[in-house]
Amino acid sequence: MARILGLDLGSYSVKGVLFESNIRGYTTKAYTEVRRAEGDRTETLRAAVKELLAQQPMQADQVIVALPGPTLLTHAFTLPFSDPKRLEAALPFEVESQLPFDLSEVLFDYQVVGQKAKANSDVLVGVVRKEELSWLLGLLTELKVDPRVITHPGITYQNLFIQTPAMFDGLGEAEAIAVVDIGHERTTVAIGKPGVGVEFARTFAGGGRDLSRALAAEFQTPLAEAHQWKETYGAMASAATAQGPDAERAASAFVRGLQPVLRELRPTFKAFTARTKRNVGAVVLCGGTARLKGLAEQLEKDLHLQVRVLALPNEAASSIPAEVQPSAVQAYSLALRGQASGAKAPRFNLRRGEFGFKGDFDYVKDKIGLLGSFAATLLLLFIASGVVRNTVLARNEAKVDAVLCKTTERILGKCETNYDRALNLLRGVESPAAALPKVTAVNLLAEVTQRIPPEVPVKIERIQIDLERVILQGETNSSKEIDTLTTALKTHRCFREVNPGKVEKTRDGQKVTFRLDIQVQCPNQPGAES
């Protein structure tokens, strides 16, 4: 039985949801929230995580976290292919073109969020500076925490859409639903459909602290006192508790403090509609700020959409009280990621390359003896299978040779057991002209040049041709034009495979160089059209 801890490293408090997971499912065992003190970012986070892990029963076999703070950059791309290897090869160029600094300074990963006609892929890419990720891992390592996954705070809600779609019941036939996580300093938006997954995500600065600042400015009080009053008595004007002159002034201040979030939400929803041609039909709120009374009603009025506060499944109610569930949603979703599996589980994980998770290797070392026994057993089975297969093949080959000898002796008057020679003899191919190749290097060169589309500006720097292979090297404007050239070459009947090689930018960054490896094999069909 695995114990999975979803750890939400919030800027105001650290939250943890602990699962016990087995082959039949999972059970929510505990929820803990620890407030961060005022002061240095590193020290307050270290103290809060240390206090949370010291509580019972927060010890876990694996830990899943989302990248904290507003340092994560999110980009959406549409690429003209769906093959994972081609996506891996093309994304560095796309990402680098969007960055104000060198690609070597960052780490990124992606999540495929949709596929359109012609095998186009929509991908979300999260980018973080290596120094920021190194800081986080260093801090967690000091606390003896080695997270298996460091994910995107928006993509983590893929787990809710896929694994707990019932959480979105009652939202009608909305074309898309937006999960809006309003934290203390950061707001995360994840747009998708239950049962389908996240299709668009982003994070931006702004949240509960803006409301506290607006309240402090309205009443000329210290920020800490304003925040405490907001948590205890705060309510939007639409809430029944917002009564009396001070309450009305506070509600008006909250509306002003909410404007930065609204200014980001509206264009986010429009950007999603522009990409997918579908509208966001409903909003579900989570995060600590979602606990503010009347916030859902105020956003419903401002956004002209159905808005409600997200509630966790019934199985979590015994461990996570209803009044704190909005704060626990991200930690709950992170715990879901730890026990997710299958093609629809998120692939996004910043534990890559030099920051890769080492726990799996340590586990393999512990099991190396058992793995060795399995390997030896498999080897013996392969050897036995090979002996049996070769024996059967030898018997079948003898039978085929006997039939071929009998056929050629009856038709040609002599026994012939070589299949190729027998086939030529039966076709009457015995003259010296039969040895002449039907395809020459000159033919292949002509076919290649004829099939280069006139609209593709390509410069061929090297051509190597023999009767089984053609290699083209050159440069063009973009990887999309390489795909166009590849598709055009595949129309020739003799070009069995056209394999693109490594694509690199030229030194001036204006063009890309390419290599195409064309496997030549003509079908044996006399008179076939090319």
Compute the Cα dihedral for 408, 413, 416, 421 and give only its sign: negative
What CATH fold (topology level) applies to the domain 441-520?
Answer: Gyrase A; domain 2 (3.30.1360)
Residue keyed to tokens 């704060």: 327
Kindly provide the residue ranges of all beta strands, DSSP E only, lying in 36-165, ordered along the sequence.
Answer: 62-66, 73-79, 106-115, 121-129, 149-151
pLDDT at 125: 94
Work out whether strand 512-520 and strand 2-9 pair parallel, antiparallel, or are unpaired. Answer: unpaired
| Average pLDDT for runs of 10 along the chain of length 530 | 92 94 87 93 95 89 91 89 89 91 92 80 93 95 94 93 91 90 95 92 94 94 92 76 71 93 96 93 95 93 94 92 95 91 79 82 56 84 87 86 84 80 68 55 85 87 87 89 88 86 86 89 57
In this structure, what token pair is assigned to residue 303?
């956004």
Q: 441-520: same fold as 3-357? A: no
Task: Write the single-letter amino acid at 71.
Answer: T
Q: For tokens 């960052």, name the residue.
A: 106
Report residue 353 CA to chain centroid gap: 16
Instruction: Give the residue from 3, 2, 1, 6 showing the smallest Cα distance to 337.
Output: 6
pLDDT at 427: 67
Q: Are 129 and 81 in contact (CB under 8 A)?
A: no
Determine the Cα angle at 470 with ends 468 and 472, to 5°: 170
Residue 527, pLDDT score: 42
Amino acid (1-letter code) at residue 408 = T
- Cα separation, 106 vs 492, whole angstroms: 42
- Domain covering 3-357 assigned CATH 3.30.420.40 in the classification: yes
The confidence score (pLDDT) of residue 438 equals 63
Compute the Cα dihedral for 156, 162, 166, 170 and give only its sign: positive
Residue with tokens 């509580």: 55
Closest CA to 32 of 12, 11, 8: 8
Q: CB of 304 within 8 A of CB of 26?
A: no
| C-alpha to C-alpha distances, 190 to 160, 177, 400, 504, nearest whole angstrom | 11, 8, 63, 33
CA angle (148 as vertex; 145, 150 as ends), nearest 5: 95
**Do residues 210 and 258 make contact, with C-beta atoms less than 8 angstroms apart?**
yes
pLDDT attached to residue 209 = 94
For every residue of 346-387, which 3-state class applies, written as one string? CCCCCCCHHHCCCHHHHHHHHCHHHHHHHHHHHHHHHHHHHH
CB 230 within 8 A of CB 212: yes
Q: Could you tell me the strand order of the sheet in which 121-129 lies?
A: 73-79, 121-129, 106-115
Q: What is the pLDDT of residue 81?
A: 86
Domains of the chain by residue range = 3-357, 366-427, 441-520
pTM strictly above 0.75: no
CA angle 343, 348, 350 (to 5 degrees): 145
List all residues 6 or more positions away from 248 whose beta carbon is below 8 Å from its beta carbon.
237, 242
**Would you tell me the crossing angle of helices 245-276 and 295-303 to the nearest 10 degrees?**
50
User: In degrees, to the nearest 5, what angle opens at C-alpha 146 toward C-alphas 140 and 150?
Assistant: 85
Q: What is the DSSP letter of 293?
A: B
